[in-house]
Chain A
Amino acid sequence: KAGVTQTPRYLIKTRGQQVTLSCSPISGHRSVSWYQQTPGQGLQFLFEYFSETQRNKGNFPGRFSGRQFSNSRSEMNVSTLELGDSALYLCASSSLQGKAYEQYFGPGTRLTVT
């Protein structure tokens, strides 16, 4: 089985712009979660989608949003980028039958905001 894929792998944006990141889960996985990782805050949960519905949301401002499509692929969007949004954005998928804590992570998208 192919693993979780994320595109693009690297991105450089300017403060005030917006960005869209994409995630394709493992085939058959219907749950997709997004995480932000920074040196200072570590790994932080952004939100989780299951069957096109957001089930959980972390403590992030409304500038961070996401969606999931009928094929389980997911996108997250960050509007009005700030310097502090520079981070590694990770997507993870898990199966309905699998354990909630057994998630499979993609390689991440490295976002740099200048």
Chain B
Amino acid sequence: GAVVSQHPSWVICKSGTSVKIECRSLDFQATTMFWYRQFPKQSLMLMATSNEGSKATYEQGVEKDKFLINHASLTLSTLTVTSAHPEDSSFYICSAQLRGTGISYEQYFGPGTRLTVT
């Protein structure tokens, strides 16, 4: 149980184009989903927190107009990188918090999406 998928697993796009990444909780409902990015040989940095049906909360330094997050349902959140540039190339990982988890608030992580902007 508690499986999170991401699509696509990797994507190459040209500079200036937009890319959408999907994050789905396959066998549970997630009230909250999180988006992280990871540069090579570095740790995960939280980008934003999204709650179903409301606007995402972005971390300091993350451009909300560049990284559009939509959490339209309890099983799907999307991250759109708009007007992508080579410096946006990174590994993007989402996680989902099980609805009604209670005390542990454990997050379940997706397999990640490798974005390369040429």
Please determine whether chains A and B interact with each other in the same assembly.
no
A interface list, Cβ under 8 A from B = none
B interface list, Cβ under 8 A from A = none
